[in-house]
């Protein structure tokens, strides 16, 4: 029986489903009611399964099994469907399902990044130790909502309120660069898919008003969109080295390791050092800026190749070679 590609209707679903169609797959979007019109409008889904809330996601299990669907995870799935539900579902799943718990737990994530030997911002376990600018983040994929900056313990205490689950991280002054990778099992190769930078409210708007009016504003990092980015070519060797190390370390922490798309979220300082403040162990929405292709993917594949399409290509090659088991986790 033929396979279908399924994903949740949000985040990078247009890219994933369009890419799957480009590679000849049947496609399925699982949507909450409010989102259905988008997937109808763009005609990327052969079938739309509607649910009234993400809490009901488990109810589509039998439908997806009947359709022989391979589920592609992204941040909306991870944000709105609990990890246990995803882990327990019998639906075919592209990627290493167990690695999601390494992404969602900040301590485990840090252990992974540290094992890979990457530069990381310092973490303060005790607010009394704050000795420079810090960014305070909350747990879960909340897309930067509610983060705040502080310069000392007093400022931290004033802003933290009653929140209990947070991390205090050294704020690295530089520029954010989000690196999109694809680790192919079929071709035993790590590919560079592109880079983006984010457009966040209100932090990216604050520079539009005079400095004297900025002073008392509360900075927030709510993600609204993304921009494409090209990096200095001489930085690419380091970009590849970092990705390779992440793949190697992932084999140690969560066999068989990470494969498919993933992203390192970095800040690059004026001395051209990459500080990694987070990893996403699945497709990131920043890849949407290359819904057709990035220049790197175009050179590598000799034809337009989005990350969504790359996933479908990998699955197609696995099916042809009878190796599908190797990429379903």
CB neighbour list of residue 5: distance below 8 Å, 6 or more residues apart: 16, 17, 20, 25, 26, 27, 28, 69, 70, 72, 311, 312, 315
CB of 172 to ligand AMP, least distance (A): 4
Residue number of the CB closest to ligand AMP reads 143
Closer to ligand AMP by CB, 225 or 256: give it: 225
Of the candidates 161, 150, 89, which has an alpha carbon nearest to the alpha carbon of residue 124? 150
CB of 41 to ligand AMP, least distance (A): 17
CB of 204 to ligand AMP, least distance (A): 9
Residues that bind ligand AMP (CB under 6 A): 10-11, 75-76, 79, 121, 135, 137, 141-144, 169-172, 176, 198, 200, 221, 223, 225-226, 265, 267, 277-278, 285-286
User: Beta partners for 245?
Assistant: none
CB neighbour list of residue 247: distance below 8 Å, 6 or more residues apart: 183, 190, 257, 258
CB of 114 to ligand AMP, least distance (A): 15
Rounded distance between C-alpha atoms, residue 308 and residue 154, angstroms: 46
CB neighbour list of residue 222: distance below 8 Å, 6 or more residues apart: 143, 144, 145, 200, 201, 202
**Token couple for 9:** 């209707």
Closer to ligand AMP by CB, 3 or 290: give it: 290
Closer to ligand AMP by CB, 184 or 222: give it: 222
Closer to ligand AMP by CB, 149 or 328: give it: 149
Closer to ligand AMP by CB, 97 or 180: give it: 180
Alpha helices in 153-281 (DSSP H): 153-160, 203-206, 211-214, 236-253
Closer to ligand AMP by CB, 101 or 201: give it: 201
Place of tokens 């290359």: 290
CB of 40 to ligand AMP, least distance (A): 18
Closer to ligand AMP by CB, 283 or 313: give it: 283
**Token couple for 315:** 């699955």
Strand order in 26-32's β-sheet?
47-51, 26-32, 4-8, 69-71, 92-93
**Token couple for 134:** 């810090």
CB neighbour list of residue 180: distance below 8 Å, 6 or more residues apart: 192, 193, 194, 195, 196, 261, 263, 284, 286, 287, 290, 294, 307
CB of 319 to ligand AMP, least distance (A): 29
CB of 189 to ligand AMP, least distance (A): 26
CB of 209 to ligand AMP, least distance (A): 19
User: Beta partners for 49?
Assistant: 30
CB 310 within 8 A of CB 191: yes
């Amino acid at each position: 029986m033929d396979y279908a590609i399924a994903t949740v209707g949000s985040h990078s679903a247009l890219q994933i489903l369009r890419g799957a169609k480009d590679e000849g797959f049947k496609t399925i979007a699982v949507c909450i009611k409010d989102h259905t019109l988008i997937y109808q409008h763009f005609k990327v889904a052969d079938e739309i399964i509607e649910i009234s809330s993400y809490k009901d996601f488990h109810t589509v299990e039998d439908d997806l099994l009947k359709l022989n669907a391979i589920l592609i995870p992204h941040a909306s799935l991870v944000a709105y469907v609990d990890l246990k539900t995803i882990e327990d579902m019998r639906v075919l799943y592209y990627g290493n399902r167990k690695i999601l718990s390494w992404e969602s737990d900040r301590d485990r994530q840090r252990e992974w990044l540290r094992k890979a030997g990457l530069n990381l911002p310092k973490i303060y376990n005790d607010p009394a130790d704050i000795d420079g600018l810090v960014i305070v983040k909350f747990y879960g994929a909340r897309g930067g909502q509610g983060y705040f900056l502080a310069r000392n313990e007093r400022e931290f205490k004033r802003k933290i309120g009653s929140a209990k689950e947070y991390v205090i991280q050294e704020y690295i002054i530089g520029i954010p660069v989000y690196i999109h990778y694809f680790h192919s099992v079929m071709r035993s190769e790590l590919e560079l898919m592109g880079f983006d930078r984010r457009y966040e409210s209100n932090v990216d708007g604050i520079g539009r008003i005079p400095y004297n009016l900025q002073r008392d504003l509360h900075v927030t990092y709510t993600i609204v969109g993304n921009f494409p980015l090209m990096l200095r070519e001489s930085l690419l060797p380091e970009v590849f080295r970092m990705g390779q190390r992440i793949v190697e370390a992932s084999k140690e922490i969560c066999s068989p390791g990470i494969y498919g798309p993933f992203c390192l979220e970095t800040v690059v300082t004026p001395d051209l050092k990459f500080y990694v403040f987070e990893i996403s162990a699945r497709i990131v929405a920043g890849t949407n800026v290359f819904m057709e292709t990035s220049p790197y993917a175009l050179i590598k594949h000799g034809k337009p190749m989005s990350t969504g399409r790359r996933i479908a290509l990998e699955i197609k090659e696995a099916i042809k070679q009878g190796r599908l088991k190797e990429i379903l986790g």
